[in-house]
Structure formats: C-alpha cells, structure tokens
Amino acid sequence: MKPQQQDPPPRPPSSSTSTSTSASASASASISSASVFTTSAVAASAWGVGGMGGMLGRELGGSFVFGVVAVYGASQGPGVALPGGVGLLLEGRAAAAAVGGAALHGLLLRPLAAQAPLGLLTDLVPVAGYRRRPYFVLAGVLMMGSSLIVAGSTGLAAWAALVCFVSFAAAVAIADVTIDACIARNSIERPALAPDIQTLSGFVSALGGLVGYSLSGVLVHRLGSQGALGVIALPGLLLILLGFVINEQRTYQSAEKQKVWEKLRVAMRGMGKTIKYPVVWKPSLFMYLSLALSISITEGQFYWYTDQKAGPAFSQEFVGIIFAIGATASMIGVLIYHKLLRDLPFRNLLFHAQLLYGASGMLDLVFVLRWNLFLGIPDYFFVVLEECCSKIIMKIRWIPMIVLSSKLCPLGIEGTFFALLMCIDSLGLLTAKTGGGIVLHALHVTRTDFENLWLAVLIRNLLRLSSLGLIFLVPRASQADVLLPPDILKAYGRNQEESLQLTKFNDMEDV
C-alpha cells in the first residue's frame, strides 16, 4: 500500500517571533495536553491493533507481518521528514536558490509515480531465481548508501545531495512495490483478511509518520542535519534482513532470460484486458478523480499559520507538534475503521467518508476567517481539533480505497497491476498539488499575502464535495467479496513452484 501522501511542511520565514505571555502559556498548556493525548492514543491504538497483528501472523506468517512493519513503519516513517532534511542540508548554499520547494517535492515523488515499471520488474524479472528477495535487498542497499553518503560528506554539492535523496525515495518505492505485491496476493487468496491487512498497514504507516515527526527535530538538534540523515540509514538494514528472512522458492527454468520478454508481453496484454472491465476501470477512475479534485493548498496554509500579522503566529515547534498529533489521529482513524467500518459495503462507506471529508474542510474555513475567536475558541485548541478531525476522516476514506485496489488485481501480475493502480493514485495526488498551486497563484496567495486564502479553502472544499456525484463508479460489494471474474482473477497465475511464500520465522528453511 502506498501510504496516503501528505505534503511536508515548508520551512517558515526566519524572522523572530514575539508572543505575549498569555499566548506562550496557552501554547505550553496545549503542548502538554497534546503530549498526553498522543501518548494515550498511541497506547490505546497499539493495544487494539496488536491482537490483529498476531492473528495475521498466525494466518499468513510472521515474516509477512515483519515485512509490513519494516516497509511501512520503518522505511516510510523517516521519509516523512525527508524533504525538511533536504531543506536543512541545502540551506545557505548558492544552489538552493534554484531549487523550489514544490519542485523538490515533485522530484521526491517521481519514483512513486514510476511504480508500475517497478511492479513489472518484481513480477517478471527474477534475480538468481528469486522474485521478491533481491528487490528488498536492493531497496535496503540504496537506502543505506544514499543516507550514509549524505551524512558522511561535508562538502557535498547540492546536485549530488538531490541525487542521494531521489535514490532514497526510489528505495522506498521499490520496497513499497514489493511488499504491495505480497499484500495483493494475500488479499486475493484470503479476501476476508483484506481489511485486516490494510488496517495493519495503515496503522504502522501512521505510527512511522509519528516517529518521524517526533524524532526529526530532536535528531537535528543533537546530531545536526547530516547526522540526523545518517540515522535514517538504519531502516535499510531491516529491508536487507527482510530480503533474507522471506522463504521464497527458487525457480530453475533453463530459459528464464528468454521468457522475460514473453512474460512482459503477456503481462501488458493482461493489464490492458483487466483495466477494460467496468468493475476495474470505474473504481479506478473514481479514486483518481476524488484525489485530484481535493486540491492541495497546504503551502499557503502553512505560511499563514506562522504569519505574525494575518495568521495565528504559531511557532515552528508548535507546527511540528500539530503534524505529530495528526499522525496520532491517523492511527485512531485506522482503529475506527477496523472496529466499526470494515464490514460496510464500499459505496456506502466511501460516500459518507467523502461527505465527511468535504465537511471537515470547513473547519479550515472557520479558522482562516478567524471565526473561532468570535466563538471564544483559542487558536491552539482549534487547530488541534481541526487536525484530529481531518486526519481521522482522511484515514477512514483512504483505507477502503486501498482494500478496493487490492481486490482488482489478477493473480500472476498482482504486483504490476497494484503498482499501476497506485501510480494512478500518485498521479491524482500530483494533479491535486498542481491544481492547488494554480488556484493559489490565480488568487494571488503568497507567503505574505493571505487576503484570498479563505476563497482557496472554500474552492477546495466545494471540489471535495463535487466528487460525491461520482460515487456511482464505486461497486456496492462488501469489502470481503471477490470482485474480479474467475477467468480474469487466475488467468495469469504462475505455477506453484514460482509462487512467493511468506512463512513464520520458525518454519523457514535455510536457502
């Protein structure tokens, strides 16, 4: 599962902040309350998901659960703070002026947008007879190498630093595509477990994001920007270990290299045939449009947060805490989905989730227009409330989409097709980011001019609600149902000796 993308916060202006004593006291109280909330919520969520993880370990193998945790929790968690680390590294260099925040973020998303070709590699191009192991190892080596190069080089040029960070993003994408193929296959073979699998994936992804937000500032403060980037090489070790602990049967076909092109032709034909089915292209179109219509205006909102005149003048530290609270709220959203919503039909659940998503955006409008002060609600309390509501609803909306995507993949090309669907989602997110930039530019919203920011928020909310008119594209089926016809579901399946097996640690054989 490709985790739901969230724009990293841009760096605020470097001007000093002068806040009143009462505001500082209010911020301190809010930070203390937020810490208590975060700790309690994480403990409660972990308790609720822990039993489900044990059940999945018994049903699908402990190494499968380890793979989900290693990829979604460990390798993707530090990636949340990655663009901020780039900014710290490039700060003060002449080349930094040529690298805009949006362009940099776009570069880091390029590997995610190229997931379909990566899926073809993991499905069709075995290395030394293995289809999954080598790609986990490759991802781990890339992650470790790029992080250590940046951390250990004192005079690294800006272009070289960018290459390293794009390599890091590519490593995350390779690991993501490979574990997604495992998840898709298990979801197809055990359809009743698909909601549980995505719940586990969503929880560890949110937990990894929380760890990334919480530790990034501490690591930068204690180790410096380069030292902090060196620490994120550690998840690469987990990916390398994952490549060795997965018990995958080796293939011994003599003409394997000659068969690759034939398999590529069959896979491309299979994807083309599958995407033509209404049960596949209709929900795929809905997911793309619902993501694309939710335009991203995060950059304009962030600078408004830290503005001394027009905005609430939050400190950089408090904005970081807001994002950490949002990651915690995402875990609560995962738990709500698992306990209350996993048995609802796709169309019913996504309709109400999208409706709540559009309605929750109105909290941003209230905040930007400063109506919360008219109602007597302090800024610090209101922004925490808004962030929690938004992230819970976003997670409830996102997980069913991923469950639905995993059920649209034929066996044999499950990695390729799931990566194709995730690539479509990535294009939707990039479209939303581009559309948000166009709206901000058209309304003349800049780092210092926020007069029309409320209008941008209103347009975004109306566009979110407009996607409700497309809900007919989503099937009415239950989340435990099999959606693909049998002739497509298993038309491209491999022989048993070629299949990936994720087994319990104590059942593994030496290879």
Query: Where exactly are the structural domains of the chain?
Result: 60-247, 266-510
Question: What is the pTM assigned to this prediction?
Answer: 0.75
CA 206 to chain centre: 9
User: For the chain, give me the number of helices (H) and strands (E)?
Assistant: 19, 0
- The pLDDT value recorded for residue 65 is 87
Superfamily of domain 266-510: MFS general substrate transporter like domains (1.20.1250.20)
Which residue, chain included where needed, has tokens 């699998």?
197
Residue 74: DSSP 8-state: I
Q: Per DSSP, what are the bridge partners of residue 127?
A: 130
- The pLDDT value recorded for residue 9 is 47
Output phi, psi for 127, to 5 deg. -115, 120
Distance CA 173, CA 498 (A): 24
- The pLDDT value recorded for residue 306 is 79
Q: Which helix (H) or strand (E) holds 397?
A: helix 379-406
Residue 449: DSSP 8-state: -
* Residue ranges in the chain modelled with pLDDT below 50: 3, 5-27, 29-31, 34, 36, 80-103, 254, 494-511
- The pLDDT value recorded for residue 38 is 52
Non-local (6+) Cβ contacts of 474 within 8 A are: 282, 283, 286, 346, 347, 350, 351, 404
In angstroms, what CA-CA distances link 265 with 100, 184, 206, 411?
40, 21, 38, 16
CA 398 to chain centre: 10
- The pLDDT value recorded for residue 466 is 94
Distance CA 68, CA 499 (A): 19
Structure tokens at 223: 């180790």
Superfamily of domain 60-247: MFS general substrate transporter like domains (1.20.1250.20)
- The pLDDT value recorded for residue 447 is 83
* Cα three-residue angle 173-390-76, rounded to 5 degrees: 20
Distance CA 72, CA 197 (A): 12
Residues in the chain: 511
- The pLDDT value recorded for residue 454 is 93
Asked whether the domain spanning 266-510 has the same topology as the one spanning 60-247, the reply is yes
- The pLDDT value recorded for residue 93 is 41
- The pLDDT value recorded for residue 98 is 38
- DSSP assignments along 311-345, one per residue: S----HHHHHHHHHHHHHHHHHHHHHIIIIITTS-
Q: Give the burial class of 91: count Cβ atoms within 10 A of its Cβ; 0-12 exposed, 13-18 middle, 19 or more buried.
A: exposed
Handedness of CA 303, 305, 311, 313 (dihedral sign): negative
Burial 415-428 (b: 16+ CB within 10 A, else e): bbbbbbbbbbbbeb
Handedness of CA 96, 426, 140, 204 (dihedral sign): positive
Which residue, chain included where needed, has tokens 């790029």?
146
A 10 A CB-CB count for 178 gives 32
Distance CA 358, CA 175 (A): 33
Distance CA 248, CA 497 (A): 10
Amino acid identity, position 84: G
Non-local (6+) Cβ contacts of 87 within 8 A are: 10, 11, 101, 104
- The pLDDT value recorded for residue 52 is 74
